[in-house]
Structure 1
Amino acid sequence: MKKILLVLMAIAMFVPAGAWAAGMFDLGIPASWTIEGNAGALGANGVVTLAPSGGSQYGYVSSNSGITGLGLPYIGGTDGSRVRSSVFSANAGEDLNFWFNYVTSDGAGYADYAWSRLLDSSLNEVALLFTARTTPGGSTVPGFGMPPIAATINPALVTISPGSSWAPLGGYSGACYSTGCGHTGWVESTYTIAAAGNYVLEFGVVDWSDQIYDSGLAFDGITVGGDPIDVPEPGTLLLLGAGLTGLILARKKFNK
């Protein structure tokens, strides 16, 4: 068994960094991240497919069963949810890249919104990367009435598509309050780090004006300079190896 574990660890050392980024949320939100409100990891569900970056799960935040006081400090909102990554380092000129998908059951004048920010290690805002906001017409990203965004998004024009069926919205999954509800599909965000330093990545979503007809945000494939910001620790790899070894031994025993 020891030999098998050593082999698995050796294999893990040569797995490309992009593969870890693709599967970043396959074991859930990393334990080193901070969760406030309703957040987690999920596979393809409803209108939200797996991200183009790969992997079997993506991360998400939802305003359903959220808490108050988490909106952007200069915008506001009612209840919502937020996640923050552990501190990671980046060099000047490196690209911070990820995918996101905004889903909302709200519409009309109830302009729920989602966002991502780059913070420094003291949690001060460095850049508002993107915003996505419920709107009955025009581009959903960047959100209307919001500050300018710092990231480059692809596609540049993001309109809402019909359909809000998604488990993280709870009882509002599949619901639609007036024009503007639906989902954006996966959008790519790219931001070039201006200065070397230690950073935290934040994703959030909040309701606007009310606490019903919820909205959510899926995200995945987060890299800096092509490398994932969270690589599985050796302990996690050992647990995975032990699990695989157990399956192998159980199969051998069964086949005797």
Structure 2
Amino acid sequence: MRTSLVAYIVFVFFVSAAASAWAIPVLEGPGNTPSGWTLMGGSLGGGVKASAPPFLSPSGDPVDLYIVTDSGGGFPALNPTSLAASAIPGAPGIPGSTNGSAMISPVFTAVAGEKINFDFSFITNDGTDTFSDWGAAYLLPVDASGAPTGASPLNFFTARTGGSGSAVPGFGFSGFPSGLVLTPSSAGLQGDVFFLNPLTAGTSGADPDATQYGPNGYPQDPSSSPGNGLGGSTNWVNAVFTFDTTTAGTYALVFAVANVGDEIYSSGLLIAGGSVQGDDPSLPSAVPEPCGLVLLGSGLACSALMRRRAGK
């Protein structure tokens, strides 16, 4: 039986095209995640209601989800999350990783030809090579109960700060699988300035508990040594992965961020435009419907989408 998730502030699950649907509001602010997802690192994740970059996805919709490495307190993010990066399931093992946050999807089983599709922007105010924070999205092989199998994760998106000027893809990670397409294929930090209060999801610079991102990474003064240059956000990157016969299987999708070398100064992931195709392995098999977990800007029902497709 296929599960599906429609995301545009309201996430909607459909058991099948003929079954009834029920809505699960995803309110802006910390701790508000899609039903069935797990947020690690406290309540530091959720949706952001904002009308200006970088909190607008390529479709023009607000950010659906965010995760960060700090718990507020204003610039320069001196209150770290309490989650050890090593406790994140499938964490990439970047040397020196300290604390972070993660968001983990429900278990799903994908067959050859099915896809996952998300938009990401990596944000930071850290960034020398010594303190090269990271963000990643990856497919973690699990059994039907959600326990990791021990097989290597499949990287879906990687980002990391550092002195090179390029943040995406991140250095120090294993390579991408052959079925992945990133658009654009690389992205650097833009030096933009914005604010995010991880405790309230507020984006006002007047908020004393909001963390400032940009224009430079640590040590903030570009004339300092060692200087890192730009901070802020990367351009949005669209990641699409198509499963084939070698990668078909049962997974959980993991979004993760972590500090490196210290627990201060913040990095994070902005996430939007999500779609996942796959079956719930704990449920009886049924004739699958071609909806998956799909972001529809208007929150339209999956059955209506299929009727439109059938009419073409």
Q: Same fold (TM over 0.5)?
A: yes
Stretches of structure 1 that go unaligned for 5 or more consecutive residues are 1-16, 232-236, 238-256
* Structure-2 residue corresponding to 1:153: 182
Name the CA distance, whole Å, in 1 between partners of 2:294 and 2:255.
Answer: 15
- 1:59 equivalent in alignment to 2:65: yes
Q: Answer yes or no: is the 8 Å Cα contact 1:61–1:205 preserved in 2.
A: yes
- 1:222 equivalent in alignment to 2:274: yes
Per-residue CA deviation, residues 60-109 of structure 1 (Å, 9 max, x unaligned), is 10000322422525214111100101112322122211100100011222
| Equivalent residues, number | 216
More moved, 121-130 vs 184-193? 121-130
Per-residue CA deviation, residues 143-184 of structure 1 (Å, 9 max, x unaligned), is 123322333211012111012423146553245424241210
Name the CA distance, whole Å, in 1 between partners of 2:190 and 2:70.
Answer: 21
Q: Answer yes or no: is the 8 Å Cα contact 1:115–1:204 preserved in 2.
A: yes
* Structure-1 residue corresponding to 2:35: 31
1:120–1:144 distance in 2 versus 1, CA, 3 Å: closer
* Structure-2 residue corresponding to 1:250: none
Name the CA distance, whole Å, in 1 between partners of 2:181 and 2:157.
Answer: 8
* Structure-2 residue corresponding to 1:123: 148
Corresponding letter in the other structure for 2:259? D
- 1:187 equivalent in alignment to 2:208: no
Q: Answer yes or no: is the 8 Å Cα contact 2:8–2:64 preserved in 1.
A: no
1:83–1:161 distance in 2 versus 1, CA, 3 Å: same
How do 1:104-183 and structure 2 match up within 5 A?
Answer: 104-109=124-129, 110-121=131-142, 122-124=147-149, 125-150=152-177, 151-168=180-197, 171-174=210-213, 176=216, 177-178=218-219, 179-183=229-233
CA RMSD of aligned residues (A): 2.9
Deviation, structure 1 residue 36: 0.6
Deviation, structure 1 residue 123: 2.8
Deviation, structure 1 residue 214: 0.5
- 1:202 equivalent in alignment to 2:254: yes
1:174–1:159 distance in 2 versus 1, CA, 3 Å: closer
TM-score by length of 1: 0.73
Per-residue CA deviation, residues 223-247 of structure 1 (Å, 9 max, x unaligned), is 135744389xxxxx9xxxxxxxxxx
1:80–1:181 distance in 2 versus 1, CA, 3 Å: same
Percent of paired sites with the same residue = 32
Q: Answer yes or no: is the 8 Å Cα contact 1:140–1:159 preserved in 2.
A: yes
Deviation, structure 1 residue 220: 1.6
Q: Answer yes or no: is the 8 Å Cα contact 1:79–1:206 preserved in 2.
A: yes
Q: Answer yes or no: is the 8 Å Cα contact 1:101–1:217 preserved in 2.
A: yes
Q: Answer yes or no: is the 8 Å Cα contact 1:45–1:166 preserved in 2.
A: no
1:171–1:78 distance in 2 versus 1, CA, 3 Å: farther
Corresponding letter in the other structure for 1:222? G
SS of residue matched to 1:140? strand
Q: Answer yes or no: is the 8 Å Cα contact 2:213–2:231 preserved in 1.
A: no
1:49–1:56 distance in 2 versus 1, CA, 3 Å: closer
Per-residue CA deviation, residues 102-132 of structure 1 (Å, 9 max, x unaligned), is 0001122210110011012333443021210
1:188–1:34 distance in 2 versus 1, CA, 3 Å: same
Name the CA distance, whole Å, in 2 between partners of 1:73 and 1:57.
Answer: 25
TM-score by length of 2: 0.61
2:120 to 94, 100, 108: 100
**Higher share in helix:** 1
Name the CA distance, whole Å, in 1 between partners of 2:292 and 2:163.
Answer: 36
How do 1:30-49 and structure 2 match up within 5 A?
Answer: 30-37=34-41, 38-44=44-50, 47-49=53-55
Q: Answer yes or no: is the 8 Å Cα contact 1:114–1:132 preserved in 2.
A: yes
Q: Answer yes or no: is the 8 Å Cα contact 1:114–1:217 preserved in 2.
A: yes
Corresponding letter in the other structure for 2:238? E
Corresponding letter in the other structure for 1:218? L
SS of residue matched to 1:78? strand
